[in-house]
Amino acid sequence: MGEETNVFYRNPFADYPMVARGEGIYLVDTKGKRYMDACGGAVVSSIGHSVREVVEALKTQLDSCEFAHTSQFTNRPQEALAGLLAELAPGGLNHAYFVSGGSEAVESAIKMARAYWVQMGRPEKWMVIGREQSYHGNTLGALAAGGNPWRRAIYEPMLYQRPRVAPCYCYRCPFKKDPAHCAIECADDLERAILEVGPEKISAFIAEPVVGATAGALVPHDGYFRRIREICDRYDVLLIADEVMTGMGRTGKWFAMRHWGVVPDMLCVAKGLAAGYVPIGATLVHDRIVDTFTNRRNVFQHGHTYMGHPLAAAAGVAVINYIKEHNLVDKSAKMGEELLRRLHEHLDDHPHVGDIRGKGLFAGVEFVADRATREPFEPELGFKQLVGEAAFKLGLIIYPMAGTIDGRRGDHVLIAPPFIITKAQIGRLVELLHKAIDKAC
Ligand code: PLP
CA 315 from centroid of its chain's CA atoms = 19
Distance 424 CA to ligand 1 centre (A): 30
Indicate whether 162 pLDDT > 80.
Answer: no
Predicted pLDDT at 163: 86
CA of residue 139 to ligand 1 center, whole Å? 10
Dihedral Cα 159, 160, 163, 165, nearest 10 deg: -30
Tell me if 103 CB under 6 Å of ligand 1: yes
Q: What amino acid occupies position 326?
A: H
> Picking from 161-165, 196-200, 217-221, 338-342, which range would have the lowest pLDDT averaged per residue?
161-165
Q: ∠ CA(272), CA(16), CA(14), 5° rounding?
A: 110
In the chain, where are the structural domains located? 19-50+327-440, 55-325
CA of 180 to the centre of ligand 1 (A): 32
- CA dist 95 and 87 (Å) reads 10
Task: Classify 320 as helix, strand or coil.
Answer: helix
State the ipTM, two decimals: 0.99
Whether 136 is in the pocket of ligand 1, judged by its Cβ within 6 Å, is yes
Q: Read off the amino acid at residue 129.
A: I
Q: How far is the CA of 398 from the centre of ligand 1 (A)?
A: 17
Look up the pTM and report it.
0.97
pLDDT at 2 over 80: no
CB neighbour burial string for 362-379, b if at least 16 within 10 angstroms, e if fewer? bbbbbbbbeeeeeebbee
Q: How many CB atoms lie within 10 A of CB 425?
A: 18
242 CB near ligand 1 (under 6 Å): yes
Of 34, 13, 8, residue with least CA distance to 23:
34
Distance 103 CA to ligand 1 centre (A): 6
State the chain's mean pLDDT as an integer: 95
Q: Over the stretch 321-331, which tens digit does the pLDDT of each residue have?
A: 999 999 999 99
What pLDDT was estimated at residue 406? 66
Angstrom distance (rounded) from CA 244 to CA 360 = 15
What's the one-letter identity of residue 22?
G
Closest ligand 1 atom number to CA of residue 242: 3
CATH number for region 19-50+327-440: 3.90.1150.10
Whether residue 213 has its Cβ less than 6 Å from ligand 1 = yes
Q: What's the average model confidence in pLDDT over 285-307?
A: 96
**Highest mean pLDDT range out of 6-20, 53-67, 371-385?**
53-67
For residue 1, pLDDT beyond 60: no
pLDDT in tens, 398-413: 999 766 766 667 799 9
Please tell me if the CB atom of residue 257 comes closer than 6 angstroms to any atom of ligand 1.
no
Q: Is 245 in the pocket of ligand 1 (CB under 6 A)?
A: yes
Read off the pLDDT of residues 68-127 as tens digits, 9 standing for 90 and up: 999 999 999 999 999 999 999 999 999 999 999 999 999 999 999 999 999 999 999 999
What confidence score (pLDDT) does residue 181 get?
87
pLDDT for residue 81: 98
Whether residue 50 is predicted with pLDDT greater than 90 in this model: the reply is yes
The secondary structure element, H or E, covering residue 283 is strand 281-285
Q: Is the CB of 141 under 6 A from ligand 1?
A: no
Assess whether the C-beta atom of 208 lies below 6 angstroms from ligand 1: yes
Whole-number Å distance between alpha carbons of 365 and 385:
13
Instruction: Express each pLDDT in 249-278 by its tens digit.
Output: 999 999 999 999 999 999 999 999 999 999
Burial of 236 (0-12, 13-18, 19+ CB in 10 A): middle
Q: Is 42 in the pocket of ligand 1 (CB under 6 A)?
A: yes
Structure confidence at residue 405 (pLDDT): 67
55-325 in CATH: which number? Answer: 3.40.640.10
Q: Which amino acid is at 148?
A: N
Sequence-separated (6 or more) residues with CB below 8 Å from residue 161: none
Report the pLDDT value the prediction gives residue 250, as an integer from 0 to 100: 98
